[in-house]
Chain A
């Protein structure tokens, strides 16, 4: 019934800030937004105004794109914009990429970066810190004009406290039932292998992320020691510099492989069917990108990749 309005492009079940179930309606016009009921059979309705979800113009010879920033009709695929629901402080909002799905005991969790999910460690500019139980949203705040009400909750944060001491910039969020593809499919990559593979120099790799979408490159360096400085909240002040060892370096000329907002993307081998994971991308410059070796990330969470 709801989908019969041409401006209603998606429906879903979700949860409001208090954890109460709601019906989520994705609409493309103010007219449709005001025409929607406030509740359906006793369940509150949350109406989200979004851009039409359209396939982006493809390039000759393949590479036909998919939006990595639009709100998706659940269950969502990964390689998409997302982040901590309250990641707004000091006049800015922040977000990154919901990269992949891992299995931790009986739970399926979204894998992204510490600095995407839980880097807010001071009350500072927004009066709050990231806590276990906070919602993780899709898309991230940067793609919805910093307005959390235009996003959907897809997972629940599990604070890792990985940095500054652990050697991984990693964090996870337990998926909300029905909101994330349980097979862990990634936009433009599809499902992956449950196995991993080590990095090697000149290895062909790819990733699917919020900003640059599906991109490819090659491994350029191994066993890297890299220093990276972190802020204590969105647009906050530098709080520590972490020195990572054993990292993977990837060619990133003019940030074509990895750019701001792609953090949290899973780097996989560049094969078409069920590629194996290689690393968790988290940092870089406009010449190189840096990934944590995926086996070290999985060991940290006592986890495995969700895949075939």
Chain B
């Protein structure tokens, strides 16, 4: 959906703050390597509620990171609180935090 002013025919202003850059400055996993024992969809399903409950999280999905399955967390902006609250891995799968901005009907 798009809207336009009758008088001024104003262009829709989309949010401009974010890019799709992935967070690349995270530390690599610490400690022992974890081998996933459950498939990535099951793991995501088990954690989606807690992730969606974090203020500023717009979505959670399954994707791939460098060819391996990962759990994506889409955030409106990456605050220090979110950076601290989102784990780096979940049951052995990397968590890919993506700054998407707000997701709106288009």
Asked if A226 and B6 sit within 8 Å, CB to CB, the answer is no
A52 to B: closest C-beta gap in Å: 20
B10 to A: closest C-beta gap in Å: 8
Asked if B18 and A287 sit within 8 Å, CB to CB, the answer is yes
Interface residues of B in 1-43 (CB under 8 A from A): 1-7, 9, 12, 14-16, 18-20, 41
Residue of A nearest to B60 (CB): A225
Inter-chain contact total with CB atoms closer than 8 Å = 151
Asked if A94 and B1 sit within 8 Å, CB to CB, the answer is yes
Whole-angstrom distance between the alpha carbons of A288 and B21 in the complex?
11
Listed by A's residue number, 5 A-B pairs whose Cβ atoms lie within 8 Å are A94-B1, A249-B72, A260-B1, A286-B14, A286-B19
* Interface segment, one of B78-86, B87-95, B97-105: B97-105
Most A CB contacts (10 A, CB to CB) among B7, B9, B63 go to B63
Which B residues are in CB contact (< 8 Å) with A253?
19-20
Asked if A113 and B3 sit within 8 Å, CB to CB, the answer is no
Asked if B44 and A223 sit within 8 Å, CB to CB, the answer is yes
- The answer to whether the Cβ of A150 comes within 8 Å of any Cβ in the partner chain is no
Which A residues are in CB contact (< 8 Å) with B101?
285-287
Whole-angstrom distance between the alpha carbons of A145 and B106 in the complex?
19
A-B contact sample (6 more), CB < 8 A, given A285-B15, A285-B102 = A141-B4, A228-B104, A260-B2, A263-B105, A285-B58, A288-B100
Residue of A nearest to B64 (CB): A201
Question: What number of A residues sit within 8 Å (CB to CB) of B?
Answer: 57
Asked if A93 and B106 sit within 8 Å, CB to CB, the answer is no
- The answer to whether the Cβ of A49 comes within 8 Å of any Cβ in the partner chain is no
Most B CB contacts (10 A, CB to CB) among A141, A169, A227 go to A227
From known contacts A226-B58, A226-B59, infer whether A285 and B103 are also in contact, taking CB-CB under 8 Å.
Answer: yes
Whole-angstrom distance between the alpha carbons of A184 and B44 in the complex?
37
Residue of B nearest to A93 (CB): B4
Whole-angstrom distance between the alpha carbons of A246 and B58 in the complex?
14
Interface residues of B in 52-87 (CB under 8 A from A): 52, 58-64, 72, 74
Residue of B nearest to A112 (CB): B1
A124 to B: closest C-beta gap in Å: 14
Point out residues on A near B: beta carbons under 8 Å: 83, 88, 91-96, 113, 115-116, 119, 141-142, 145-146, 169, 201-202, 210-211, 220-230, 234-235, 243, 247, 249, 251-253, 255, 258-263, 281-290
Residue of A nearest to B98 (CB): A287
From known contacts A285-B100, A285-B101, infer whether A225 and B2 are also in contact, taking CB-CB under 8 Å.
Answer: no
Asked if A202 and B64 sit within 8 Å, CB to CB, the answer is yes
Which B residues are in CB contact (< 8 Å) with A286?
14-16, 18-19, 101
Residue of B nearest to A141 (CB): B4
B63 to A: closest C-beta gap in Å: 4
Whole-angstrom distance between the alpha carbons of A230 and B106 in the complex?
10
Asked if B1 and A284 sit within 8 Å, CB to CB, the answer is no
Whole-angstrom distance between the alpha carbons of A178 and B60 in the complex?
44
Whole-angstrom distance between the alpha carbons of A234 and B64 in the complex?
37
Which B residues are in CB contact (< 8 Å) with A290?
59, 103
Which A residues are in CB contact (< 8 Å) with B4?
92-94, 141-142, 146
Which B residues are in CB contact (< 8 Å) with A92?
3-6
Asked if B1 and A247 sit within 8 Å, CB to CB, the answer is no
